[in-house]
Amino acid sequence: MFKRQVRWAMRVAAVGLLAAVPLWSSAASRADEPGVTDKTIKIGILGSLTGPLAVFGTGNLAGATIAFEEANAAGGINGRKLEWVSLDDESSPPKGIAAYKRLVDQDKVFAVFGPAASAVGQALVPTFKAGKTPTFISVFSTPAVTEPIIPNVFRTGPMNDRQQGIAIADYVLDHLKAKKVALVKQSDEYGKRGGESVTKRLTERKVSLVSDETFNISDTDFTAQLTRVIQTAPDVLIVYGYPNPSAIITRQAKQLGLKAMIMGANSAGSRKYPEIVGAAAAGTQNIVTLKVLPESNDPAAVKFRTTFEKHFPDLARQGRPDLGDVLGYGGAQVFVEALKRAGPQLTQAGFIKALESLKNYETALTLPTTFGPGIREGNQAAKVVEIQGDLSRKMLPEVVRATEGGTK
């Protein structure tokens, strides 16, 4: 799978680099604004195109590519066409830092779209703080990049993991009526932040975890953790991890006789999840930060699916577009809207002000985005998906939020 992703990423990166040739050979960029000429705006796209987090980085790149190509086909941004350079951080924080600095310092991009993994984003925080390049995140969810806010860093799409943890804990107590809750969480930045938030929220509501287990992203056997969980007889097991380990945990839990409802975080909202788990997936739930599911018959989903499959047949054969692809696309649509609002006299400061002007901005596939002078989390809500008996996914009516009022 990763080899196909690498070949695809290299093709897309090559297209971006070739497209950028006119930028370098045309009139020089305005001295005060990197990446901007009279005819072009140069964007850097950063993400994990290889390694264990490639499903998110390739989604970030694929979604952005489609949105940027659509913007160009519609005439561009106030008379300018978008051009982009894509770099692979290889799912490595140090390489992510180096790639980001290359985009900013060597490629002189106007803004960066990405990265696409929590571990890479968390490692980049000092770099973000030291610079002024607008950076837009649409896939990963660590709160480290927005709490406290960094003026040039914005995120929409996923709720951050602190917010997700609160929302999941409230949903489990308020809607699932759980009295005994267990948690199995990933050991990296993603699982650590989300798991800590779940635990803290439950404690605030006078509920203690009956079991708290940890796993590594590369693990494939969770028998030891699940055996301990089962001994506590929970009503609900919360699984905070990436799609593949979450799917294996769910399947093994049912094989070992777990009777509890299984509730997953946004990252586990993959359309392939039911297929990977099999019959044991029926009845499980997870939150998802989308308006509609990518496999649905909603006209917007059908249109995006058709475009995606035409552009990226290798990824389509893997059961995509999926969560990361849709988040990347929706985020890039928000990014493009702000570029338009920034006007013809484009500056990085003006782009940041334009992002701050977005209030309940709607895309067809993702939840509304609101930014502001003190708001860098564009989406603070999620919906709930339930796996049906035929292993199809159903979007439930509940909307969950990280509020004192719990779920709504």
pLDDT tens for residues 195-209? 999 999 999 999 999
Judgement on whether residues 388 and 242 belong to the same structural domain of the protein: yes
- The verdict on 20 and 58 lying in the same domain is yes
d(CA 408, CA 401): 7
Q: How many CA atoms lie within 13 A of 216 on its CB side?
A: 4
Tens digit of each residue's pLDDT (9 = 90 or more) over 317-367? 999 999 999 999 999 999 999 999 999 999 999 999 999 999 999 999 999
Condensed to tens digits (0 to 9), the pLDDT of residues 26-80 reads 333 444 799 999 999 999 999 999 999 999 999 999 999 999 999 999 999 999 9
Return d(Cα 96, Cα 214) in angstroms, integer. 26
Residues 141 and 16 in one domain: yes
Within a domain: 408: no
Give the chain's domain count. 2
Dist. CA 344–CA 77, nearest whole Å: 8
* Mean pLDDT to the nearest integer, 117-130: 97
CATH code of the domain covering residue 188: 3.40.50.2300
Looking at the predicted structure, is the pLDDT value of residue 22 above 50?
no
Mean pLDDT of 393-405: 84
pLDDT over threshold 90, residue 403: no
**What is the per-residue pLDDT for 269?**
85
Residue 94 lies in a domain: yes
pTM of the model: 0.89
**What one-character DSSP code corresponds to residue 394?**
E
pLDDT band for position 1 (cuts 50, 70, 90) = very low
- 189 with 147, same domain: the answer is no
Residues of the domain holding 215 = 161-288+383-401
- How far apart CA 99 and CA 52 sit, in angstroms, is 18
Rounded distance, CA 65 to CA 158, Å?
Answer: 19
d(CA 384, CA 394): 8
CA distances from 286 to 28, 69, 83, 118 (A): 49, 32, 36, 19
Claim to verify: residue 142 and residue 276 sit in the same structural domain:
no
pLDDT given for residue 315 in this prediction: 96
Do 251 and 130 belong to one domain?
no
333 domain residue, yes or no: yes
Q: Tens of pLDDT along 270-325?
A: 898 898 899 999 999 999 999 999 999 999 999 999 999 999 999 999 999 999 99
Same domain flag for 278 and 180: yes
Encode pLDDT of 373-390 as tens digits: 999 999 999 999 999 999
Question: Do residues 42 and 171 both lie within one domain?
Answer: no
Which residues lie closer than 8 Å to 169 by C-beta, 6 or more apart?
A: 181, 197, 198, 201, 202, 205, 238
185 and 42 assigned to the same domain: no
Beta bridge partners of residue 381, listed in sequence order:
401
Instruction: Verify that 115 and 152 share a domain, yes or no.
Output: yes
Do the Cβ atoms of 276 and 247 come closer than 8 Å? yes
Q: 245 in a domain, yes or no?
A: yes
Q: Where are the beta strands (DSSP E) in 89-186?
A: 111-113, 135-137, 153-155, 181-186
For residues 144 and 75, membership in a common domain is answered with yes
The secondary element (H helix, E strand) that includes residue 212 is strand 211-215
Q: For residue range 139-184, what is the model confidence (pLDDT) as tens digits?
A: 999 999 999 999 999 999 999 999 999 999 999 999 999 999 999 9
CA 235 to chain centre: 29
324 and 220 within one domain: no
Inform me whether the pLDDT recorded for 13 exceeds 50: no
pLDDT at 286: 95
Instruction: Tell me 104's DSSP state.
Output: I
